[in-house]
Amino acid sequence: MKFKLLFFLTILFFVNTQAQNYIFGKVTSEDSSEIPDVTVINIRTDERTTTNRDGHFMVSGRAGDELRFVKSGYDRLVKKISRENIESPINATLERTTILIPEVEIRQGITEDLKIDAKNLNRPKKVEKLVKDIDNYISQKSDPRILAAKPGEFVQPKGQGFSIGKVKNKWDDIDLGSYLKTALGEEYFTDLKIEKSQIDHFISYVLAGGFERKTILKYGFCSDADLYRFQRFVLTRISSYRAPQTQR
């Protein structure tokens, strides 16, 4: 009887420790503002979800799991789930990524000493003369005889001109793919189990799947909203990309 009771308690303890629960939480910024579209990844199960517009999320997990929080423009955060987090929501605070400001050259100010200020603030006379000569040269009109055809030289007749067609986009898919790879970082793709050597191929696969990018290519500009839209589109294509070639 004691053996059966011990066996039952052991099974109950194992089931309780291995039980899968749902973890609820909220992601905010340093100023307590809700952050939407944050990717939340359970590192153990590779299950992932995104926060809603109020910063809330739900993902399955258990005590001891680690959750990774990823969003462009913010430092990545990893939090370990405790038993208390199973019973109550978990709060995560993301810090904005530090942006280095380019170095600014500070010129020497006025010292109120006429000789020193004249030397520091005024250009040398030779430089002034050269700049003036160049300005005068540019302002002069060229002699028409310089551009006239030489005797016996064929001259293309002037017509009404012709249309050169539509103006080309500032970007193509290669430019966009390079930007996406740089903006999201290689770690974003390796977290999706995409090998570094396959990142470019995967981006091309996602774009070929119907990702709307007409405006991006036209103006050569990808906004944060476009990045979030691309990340959501990636989640719809990752499964088919991992499938065998015959199943795509």
Read off the tokens for 103: 């170095």
For helices 199-208 and 224-242, the axis angle rounded to 10 degrees is 100
pLDDT band at 185 (very low <50, low <70, confident <90, very high): very high
- Stated length of the chain: 248
Contact indicator for 205, 237 with CB cutoff of 8 Å: yes
Contact indicator for 173, 205 with CB cutoff of 8 Å: no
Q: What is the DSSP letter of 74?
A: B
Q: In the prediction, which pLDDT does 151 show?
A: 57
For the chain, where are the E strands, in sequence order?
Answer: 21-29, 39-42, 47-50, 56-61, 66-70, 77-80, 90-94
Q: For residues 133-163, b (16+ Cβ closer than 10 Å) or e, as one string?
A: eeeeeeeeeeeeeeeeeeeeeeeeeeeeeee
Read off the tokens for 100: 């280095």
Q: Please give the C-alpha separations between residue 188 and each of 70, 74, 168, in angstroms, as whole numbers.
A: 8, 13, 31
Category of 220 on φ-ψ map: left (φ > 0), alpha (ψ -120 to 50) or beta: left
Q: 21-94 has which CATH code?
A: 2.60.40.1120
Residue 150 reports pLDDT greater than 70? no
pLDDT band at 200 (very low <50, low <70, confident <90, very high): very high
For helices 173-184 and 199-208, the axis angle rounded to 10 degrees is 120
Residue 12 reports pLDDT greater than 50? no
Residue 152 reports pLDDT greater than 60? no
Q: In the prediction, which pLDDT does 3 show?
A: 46
For a pLDDT cut of 70, what percent of the chain falls above it? Answer: 68
Domain residue ranges of the chain, discontinuous segments joined by +? 21-94, 173-247
Radius of gyration of the chain (CA): 32
Q: In the prediction, which pLDDT does 2 show?
A: 47
- Mean pLDDT of the residues in the chain: 79
Residue 243 reports pLDDT greater than 80? no
Its pTM stands at 0.37
Burial class from Cβ neighbours inside 10 Å (0-12, 13-18, 19+) for residue 29 reads middle
Per-residue pLDDT of 29-70, as tens digits, reads 999 999 999 999 999 999 999 999 999 999 998 989 999 999
Q: What are phi and psi of 78, to 5 degrees?
A: -125, 125
Most confident stretch, 15-19, 94-98, 141-145: 94-98
**Strands, sheet with 90-94, edge to edge from the N-terminal-most edge strand:** 56-61, 21-29, 90-94
Contact indicator for 189, 199 with CB cutoff of 8 Å: yes
**Looking at the DSSP assignment, which residues form a beta bridge with residue 50?**
39
